[in-house]
A and B are shown apart, each in its own frame.
Chain A
């Protein structure tokens, strides 16, 4: 039963992922990306990562996809001629295809060969807000604070970069 649920979710995630790559319109790409992110959030819940599941919904589907849609609508959703899937150089496409097949095969081989033991005994509150906070504010306090500095710098950078040029 749970496996069936997983397969359905995985299928949806792949539909979203492929949709991002093949869509002609950037808005459809963003919506497919939304589907992919939402499905991954559900998977985080299945993997005992409740906190990260909620953060995924808030940060990715709530903020990042909306930001994408905002920019798409600001600059026009229709793609310039020559930016659809089939417009790249032929060599690029062939090389990309070969590389992806190689990468998929390699990753799958590694995953299948490195057989992992079945998961045993997860502590009940694994991945809860309390557990994450406990680790985040003791062992990982410095990276946490540095992340806040990074976000501040990114915010200032975005404001400076996105200003309309004064004269052109």
Chain B
């Protein structure tokens, strides 16, 4: 069984990462920006796992595990912030979040 070259996975992950970055830059809805950040994290995870297989070492997979733990924490706190934002300002548009501006 011939396996797929690691390069293909890396290129796919690069494309997904760039799409996610584009979404973060272009969209103004906080929820969509969060989703794009998650997508970028996943693209990087794919890179880690592809390279872990490439070099036959498990460290990459352990790192992906840690990234998943941090991503879960980030989503919980981030979505709580979005909820607080909606209750205080009734908006999810990141351009209108300027409470600290005085």
Residue positions of A touching B, CB distance < 8 A:
2-3, 6, 10, 13-14, 17-18, 20-21, 23, 26, 29-30, 33, 36-37, 40, 43-44, 46-49, 51-52, 55-56, 59-60, 63-64, 67-68, 71-72, 74-75, 79-80, 82-83, 85, 87-88, 92-93, 95-97, 99-100, 103-104, 107-108, 111-112, 115-116, 118-119, 121-123, 126-127, 131-132, 135-136, 140, 143, 147, 150-151, 153-155, 157-162, 164-165, 168
Contact = CB atoms under 8 A, between A and B. Distances in A.
Interface residues of B, number: 72
B38 A103 contact: no
Interface string B3-26: 111111111101111111111011
B35 A20 contact: yes
Nearest to B1: A2
A154 B73 CA distance: 5
B72 interface: yes
B24 to A, nearest CB: 9
Given A72-B31, A80-B93, A6 B84 contact: no
Interface string B60-97: 01101110111111111101111110111001110000
B6 to A, nearest CB: 5
